[in-house]
C-alpha cells in the first residue's frame, strides 16, 4: 500500500548548531576547505555518501551525533569561525582590483547559461561548459563583480553513468528533491512563490524560481515541475540536454525569455546580459520586446539597446554543437511573438539565418546571438580565429580577420581546483594572494622558490590519495555489480602509487579521440609492462546517451582495462563528475588530451591539472596551442599543430607520435631520479608550468577580461543610449536605418599611390582615393586605407588600417581623400581603400555589417 501523503522528517538542529544551515545554503563550501572539512569531520562516511551535499547531510545526520556535537566546544568554536568567515566574505564590499565603475546598488550583469558546475552535489551540469559557468560565477564572487546568474533546475539532472558487465554505457536518472539541495525557494514580500510564465505554442508554461547562493552571487534557477503545469510541460526541466529538438527549444525559451522575465519580476532588470553559448540567445529577443513595450521604442531602437548591452560567448567549433531549429518548428513557437514585435515572420527568421534570403535555412541560435550582441568572443585565441572563419557568412562583406568575434581565453577557478595540500604549499611560498589575486604574475613567479623536495612530496601524496580513491571507487563499482570477493580484493591492488600516472578524463566525443591511445596495442602494452619504469592510465568520461560511437569507444577501452595483463595498470572510473575530476587533476603526473585540432574550443581540465603541477601531454589545440612552449619546458605536445584532410591518416600519425613522445620524453624524464630520488628536470617543468601559466589560465583573469573588454563598455553604452528617455538609442537607430538605405550609393574610384614598383621600408607612400558619399555626411563615415604584407597567395597576411582625410571637394560631387602609409617590414606589400560607418555611440563599426570596398 502507498501512503497518501509523505513528509520528510528533518532533524531539529540544536540551537548551537543552527549556523550549519547558513553554511549549507551557500555554495561557498565548494571552494572553502575550512567549511567543507567542517562538514566532513562531523561524519566522514555520511558526508561522502551524500556526495558532499550539506543539505542532505544535515537532514540525515543521526540525532545522537548532533547532540554530541552541540556539546563539543572545539567543534562549536570551529563552527563559529567558519560562520564568521562566511559572513565576512559575503558582506565584504568593494574590491581590490580595478573593475569598471558600475553602480553597485543593483547587479548590472546577468549571466545566462543552460548549465552550471558549481559543486558535485548540484546536478545541473554535464561538462566543460557548465564547469566554466560555475568557475565564472565563483570568480565574479571573489572579485565582487555586480553579477547575477540565471539557469534551469533539472529534476533528474544530467545522467549518471554505469556500465553493463560487457562494458556498455547505461544511463540512470535519479529523481532529485530540490528541498534537499542547497537551493531556496524565491518568494515575494508576502511569502508567495515567485513565478514567471512563457507562452509555448499556445500553452502557458509557469515556472518557479530557486535561489542558489554562490558566495556573493545569486544564481536563479527556473523550475517547470509544478502542479499548475500539465505533465508534458512539467517535463521541460526534467533533464539537462534530454529530449528532442522541440524540448530543447522549449528549454531555451524558458531560459532566455523566462530568465529575462524573472529578472524583471525580481526588480533586477539586466543592464548587461552575458549569453554563455547560443542556448540563451532568446534573452536578447525578450529584452528587445520589453524595451519596445515598456519604453515605446521602435524595434530598431530596442535592438540598438539590447545589442549594445549584450555579450556573447560561443563555445563550439563542431557544427552539430550549434542549435538549429527548422522554420516550421520556429513558426509554431514564435509567430505570435514576432507579431508582437511588429516583425514579419520572414524578417524575424532572418535574425537567425546566415543568409537572410534563404527561406530553407534553419534558425540558428549562434547566428541569433551574434546578430544581437556587440561583444562576441570565442574561448581561446585559436578558437577566436576558427569562429571568425566559421561565422564569416554572417558578415559577408568582411575579410575573415575583420569578422567581429574576438577571443577571451577561458580560465579555471584556482581555489576550487587546487588540492588543499598544494594550496598550503602555495600559501607558504607564493603568499595567500594566489587565491585573491591569481592573475598576478609576481605572485606565481615565486613558484621558483618552492623547494623541490617539498613540491614533489606533496605531489606524491596527491598521487597516493588518487590511487586510494580509485581503489575505493572501483570496489564500489564492483560491489554494485555483485562481484565476487576475489574480484573485490583485486580492486584493492590496482595501480601502483609510485608509478607514472597518466589521466584521460573527458566526454567521449569523436573529436576528442580517446582511441588514438589504443591504435597500437603492442606499443601501449610495452609501456605498461615495463617493470623498471611502469606507466599506468586512469580513464573516465561519459558519452552522450545517443552517441553509439562514443559508447563503443568506451566499451573498447573497458575491454582493454579488463585483460589479465592490463587490469592493474589501466582503470576506467564510471560516472565522471566534479569529484572524480578533482582527484584526477590533482593526483596524476600527466594530463593527456588528444583532440583533433581545431575542434577543442579551449579545454579547461588541463588548466586544472596545470594548477596542481601536473604536466600536459596534448595536441596543440585550444588553450594548449597558446600555452605550450616549444622547448617542452612547461609540458609536452603531440605534433606541432598540423591539420589534416585525411582523418584516419592523421589519427595514425598522431598516435605514433604520442607513443614516441611517451617513450622518449615523458617516461625517461619522469624516471630520471637524482639525489633523494627526485626527478629534478620534471620538477623544474612543474614549477615553470605553475609559475608561467598560473597567472594567465585562471578564471579571475578571464572574468577581469570580460569586465574590461565587454561588461564595462557594454554598460557604458547602455547608460549612454538610455539617457534622455532613450533619445540616443532612437537617434542611433534612425541614423543606422538612413545609412542602410543610402549605403548602396557609396562608391570609391581612382585609388592611386605615388609610388613606383619599388618602395622602401619605413618610407611613407601617399594614397589617394576619390569617394562618392551619395549625400551621407562625411562625419558619418570613416574612409580608410587597408594595407599590409601579402602572403604567397596574394592575400593580406597582416593588415593595418589608416584613416584617410578629405583633401578637397571635386566639381562633380566626388571628394578626394588622402593619407600616408608605410611598409613596416620588407616583403610584397599591398593596399586597398574602404568606407566604414562611424558614430560615437558605436564602439565597433563592424557590427553593422556595412562596408564599401574600392
Ligand atoms: C573541467 C571539467 C570538464 C571540462 O574538461 P575539458 O578539458 O573541457 O574536457 C568536464 N567535466 C568535468 C567534470 C570537469 O571537471
Is 447 in the same domain as 544? Answer: yes
pLDDT digits (tens, 9 = 90+) for 768-818: 999 999 999 999 999 999 998 888 888 888 789 999 999 887 888 899 999
Run means of pLDDT, 10 residues per run, the chain, 854 residues: 69 91 98 96 96 96 94 97 97 59 71 98 96 98 95 97 95 95 97 97 97 97 97 97 96 98 96 98 98 97 97 93 96 97 97 96 98 97 96 93 95 98 97 89 94 98 98 94 88 96 94 91 95 97 94 95 94 97 98 96 98 98 97 96 93 96 98 96 98 97 96 94 97 94 95 80 91 94 93 84 90 92 87 94 85 93
d(CA 142, CA 129): 20
Same domain flag for 678 and 547: yes
pLDDT of res. 94:
56
Looking at 250, 267, 284, which one is the last position of a domain?
Answer: 267
- 112 and 86 in a common domain: no
Cα distance between residue 347 and residue 356, in whole Å: 8
Surface-to-core class of residue 742, CB atoms within 10 Å of its CB (0-12 exposed, 13-18 middle, 19+ buried):
middle
**Ligand 1 atom closest to Cα of residue 506:** 9
Residues 688 and 751 in one domain: no
Cell of 835: 568606407
The total number of structural domains in the chain stands at 4
Give domain status of residue 490, yes or no: yes
Residue 781 structural domain: 746-853
Element (H, E) at 68: helix 63-70
CB 59 within 8 A of CB 11: yes
| Atom 1 of ligand 1: nearest residue by CA position | 605
Q: Does residue 409 sit within a domain?
A: no
- Tell me: do 49 and 120 sit in the same domain: no
* 597 is a domain residue: yes
Partners of residue 130 on adjacent β-strands: none
Residues 6 or more apart whose Cβ sits within 8 Å of residue 653: 639, 644
Contact assessment for residue 368 and residue 394, using Cβ atoms and an 8 Å cutoff = no
Alpha-carbon distance of 717 to 721, in angstroms, equals: 6
Strand order across the 781-790 sheet: 796-803, 781-790, 829-837, 852-853
Q: Supply angle C-alpha 546, 551, 557, rounded to 5.
A: 170
Whether 498 maps to a domain, the answer reads yes
| Centroid of ligand 1 to alpha carbon of 575 (angstroms) | 13
Shared domain for 535 and 641, answered yes or no, is yes
Rounded to the nearest whole angstrom, what is the distance from the C-alpha of residue 584 to the centroid of ligand 1? 11
533 and 678 inside one domain: yes
Which pTM was predicted?
0.96
* Cα gap 307→303, rounded to integer Å: 6
What gap in Å lies between CA 823 and CA 757, rounded to an integer?
13
If asked whether residues 842 and 764 sit together in one domain, one would say yes
Please tell me the distance between residue 597's alpha carbon and the centre of ligand 1 in angstroms: 18
Instruction: Examine the domain organization and report whether 138 and 68 are in the same domain.
Output: no
Residue 832 is part of a domain; what is its CATH number? 2.60.40.10
Residue-level pLDDT at 99: 52
Residue nearest to atom 3 of ligand 1 (CA): 128
Residue 798: per-residue pLDDT: 78
Buried b (16+ CB within 10 A) or exposed e, 277-286: bbbbbbbbbb
Q: Bridge-partner residues for 819, per DSSP?
A: 767
Q: Is residue 848 part of a domain?
A: yes
Assess if residue 429 is contained within a domain. Answer: no
Q: Report the CATH number that the domain containing residue 185 is assigned in CATH.
A: 3.40.50.2000
- The best mutation among 121, 126, 127, 409 to test binding of ligand 1, ranked by most ligand atoms within 8 Å of the C-beta, falls on 127
| Protein residues with CB under 6 Å of any ligand 1 atom | 127-128, 131, 506, 576-578, 581, 603-606, 608
Residues in the chain: 854
Same domain, 134 and 20: no
Residue-wise pLDDT for 297-309, tens only, equals: 999 999 999 999 9
Domain boundary among 267, 286, 309: 267
Q: How far is 130 from 120, CA to CA, in rounded Å?
A: 12
Please tell me whether residues 509 and 620 are part of one structural domain: yes
User: Based on the domain organization, do 121 and 62 belong to the same domain?
Assistant: no
pLDDT of residue 758: 76
Q: What is the pLDDT of residue 97?
A: 46
Tell me which residue of 601, 622, 619, 631 sits closest to 692, measured CA to CA. Answer: 631
Domain boundary, last residue among 676, 697, 718: 697
Gap between the Cα atoms of 25 and 16, Å rounded: 17
Please report whether residue 306 resides in a domain.
no
DSSP state of 201: T
Residue 312 lies in a domain: no
Amino acid at each position: 500500500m502507498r501512503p497518501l501523503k509523505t513528509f520528510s522528517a528533518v532533524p531539529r538542529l540544536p540551537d548551537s548548531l543552527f549556523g550549519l544551515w547558513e553554511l549549507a545554503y551557500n555554495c561557498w563550501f565548494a571552494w572553502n576547505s575550512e567549511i567543507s572539512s567542517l562538514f566532513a569531520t562531523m561524519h566522514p562516511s555520511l558526508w561522502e555518501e551524500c556526495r558532499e551535499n550539506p543539505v542532505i547531510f544535515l537532514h540525515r545526520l543521526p540525532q545522537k551525533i548532533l547532540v554530541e556535537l552541540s556539546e563539543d566546544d572545539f567543534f562549536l568554536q570551529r563552527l563559529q569561525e567558519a560562520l564568521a568567515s562566511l559572513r565576512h566574505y559575503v558582506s565584504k564590499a568593494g574590491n581590490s582590483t580595478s573593475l569598471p565603475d558600475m553602480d553597485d546598488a543593483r547587479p548590472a550583469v546577468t549571466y545566462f547559461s543552460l548549465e552550471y558546475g558549481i559543486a558535485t552535489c548540484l546536478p545541473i551540469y554535464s561538462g566543460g561548459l557548465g564547469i566554466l559557468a560555475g568557475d565564472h560565477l565563483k570568480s565574479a564572487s571573489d572579485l565582487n563583480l555586480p553579477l547575477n546568474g540565471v539557469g534551469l533546475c533539472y529534476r533528474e539532472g544530467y545522467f549518471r553513468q554505469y556500465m553493463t558487465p560487457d562494458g556498455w554505457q547505461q544511463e540512470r536518472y535519479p529523481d532529485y528533491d530540490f528541498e534537499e539541495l542547497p537551493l531556496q525557494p524565491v518568494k515575494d514580500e508576502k511569502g508567495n512563490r515567485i513565478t514567471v510564465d512563457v507562452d509555448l505554442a499556445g500553452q502557458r508554461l509557469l515556472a518557479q524560481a530557486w535561489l542558489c547562493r554562490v558566495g556573493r552571487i545569486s544564481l536563479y534557477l527556473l523550475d517547470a515541475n509544478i502542479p499548475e503545469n500539465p505533465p508534458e510541460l512539467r517535463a521541460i526541466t526534467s533533464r539537462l540536454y534530454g529530449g528532442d529538438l522541440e524540448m530543447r527549444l522549449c528549454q531555451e525559451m524558458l531560459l532566455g525569455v523566462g530568465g529575462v522575465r524573472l529578472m524583471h519580476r525580481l526588480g533586477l532588470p539586466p543592464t548587461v546580459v552575458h549569453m554563455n553559448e547560443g542556448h540563451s540567445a532568446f534573452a536578447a529577443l525578450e529584452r528587445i520586446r520589453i524595451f519596445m513595450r515598456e519604453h515605446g521604442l521602435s524595434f530598431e531602437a530596442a535592438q540598438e539597446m539590447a545589442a549594445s548591452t549584450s555579450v556573447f560567448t560561443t563555445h563550439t567549433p563542431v557544427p552539430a554543437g550549434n542549435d538549429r531549429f527548422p522554420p516550421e518548428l520556429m513558426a509554431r513557437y514564435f509567430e505570435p511573438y514576432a507579431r508582437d514585435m511588429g516583425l514579419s515572420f520572414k524578417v524575424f527568421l532572418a535574425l537567425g539565418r546566415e543568409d537572410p534570403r534563404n527561406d530553407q535555412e534553419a534558425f540558428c541560435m549562434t547566428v541569433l546571438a551574434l546578430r544581437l550582441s556587440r561583444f562576441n568572443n570565442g574561448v581561446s585565441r585559436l578558437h577566436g580565429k576558427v569562429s571568425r572563419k566559421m561565422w564569416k557568412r554572417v558578415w559577408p562583406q568582411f575579410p575573415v580577420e575583420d569578422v567581429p568575434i574576438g577571443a577571451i581565453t577561458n580560465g579555471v577557478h584556482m581555489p576550487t581546483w587546487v588540492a588543499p595540500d598544494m594550496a598550503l604549499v602555495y600559501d607558504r611560498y607564493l603568499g595567500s594572494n594566489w587565491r585573491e589575486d591569481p592573475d598576478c604574475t609576481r605572485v606565481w613567479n615565486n613558484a621558483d622558490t618552492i623547494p623541490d623536495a617539498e613540491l614533489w612530496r606533496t605531489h606524491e601524496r596527491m598521487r597516493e590519495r588518487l590511487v586510494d580513491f580509485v581503489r575505493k571507487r572501483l570496489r564500489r563499482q564492483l560491489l554494485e555489480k555483485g562481484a565476487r570477493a576475489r574480484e573485490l580484493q583485486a580492486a584493492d591492488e590496482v595501480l601502483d602509487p609510485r608509478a607514472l600516472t597518466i589521466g584521460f578524463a573527458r566526454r567521449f566525443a569523436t573529436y576528442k579521440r580517446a582511441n588514438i591511445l589504443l591504435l597500437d596495442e603492442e606499443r601501449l602494452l610495452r609501456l605498461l609492462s615495463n617493470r623498471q619504469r611502469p606507466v599506468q592510465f586512469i580513464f573516465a568520461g561519459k558519452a552522450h546517451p545517443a552517441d553509439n560511437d562514443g559508447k563503443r569507444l568506451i566499451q573498447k577501452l573497458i575491454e582493454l582495462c579488463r585483460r589479465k595483463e592490463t587490469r592493474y595498470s589501466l582503470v576506467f572510473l564510471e560516472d565522471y563528475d566534479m569529484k572524480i575530476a578533482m582527484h584526477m587533476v590533482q593526483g596524476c603526473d600527466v594530463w593527456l588530451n588528444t583532440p583533433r585540432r581545431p575542434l577543442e574550443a579551449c579545454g579547461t581540465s588541463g588548466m586544472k591539472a596545470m594548477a596542481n603541477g601536473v604536466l600536459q601531454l596534448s595536441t596543440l589545440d585550444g588553450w594548449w596551442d597558446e600555452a605550450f612552449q616549444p622547448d617542452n619546458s612547461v609540458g609536452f605536445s603531440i605534433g606541432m599543430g598540423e591539420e589534416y584532410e585525411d582523418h584516419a591518416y592523421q589519427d595514425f600519425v598522431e598516435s605514433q607520435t604520442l607513443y614516441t613522445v611517451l617513450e622518449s620524453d615523458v617516461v625517461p624524464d619522469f624516471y630520471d631520479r637524482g639525489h633523494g630520488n627526485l626527478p629534478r628536470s620534471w620538477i623544474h617543468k612543474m614549477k615553470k608550468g605553475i609559475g608561467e601559466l598560473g597567472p594567465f589560465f585562471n578564471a579571475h583573469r578571464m572574468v577581469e577580461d570580460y569586465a574590461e573588454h565587454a561588461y564595462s563598455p557594454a554598460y557604458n553604452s547602455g547608460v549612454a543610449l538610455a539617457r534622455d528617455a532613450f533619445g540616443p538609442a532612437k537617434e542611433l537607430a534612425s541614423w543606422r536605418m538612413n545609412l542602410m538605405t543610402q549605403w548602396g550609393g557609396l562608391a570609391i574610384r581612382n585609388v592611386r599611390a605615388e609610388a613606383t614598383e619599388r618602395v622602401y621600408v619605413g618610407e611613407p607612400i601617399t594614397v589617394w582615393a576619390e569617394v562618392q558619399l551619395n549625400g551621407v555626411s562625411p562625419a558619418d563615415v570613416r574612409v580608410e586605407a587597408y594595407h599590409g604584407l601579402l602572403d604567397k597567395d596574394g592575400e593580406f597576411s597582416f593588415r593595418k588600417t589608416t584613416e584617410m582625410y578629405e583633401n578637397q571637394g571635386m566639381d562633380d560631387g566626388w571628394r578626394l581623400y588622402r593619407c600616408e602609409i608605410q611598409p613596416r617590414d620588407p616583403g610584397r606589400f599591398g593596399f586597398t581603400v574602404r568606407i566604414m560607418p562611424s558614430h560615437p555611440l558605436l564602439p565597433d563599426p563592424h557590427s553593422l555589417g556595412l562596408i564599401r570596398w574600392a
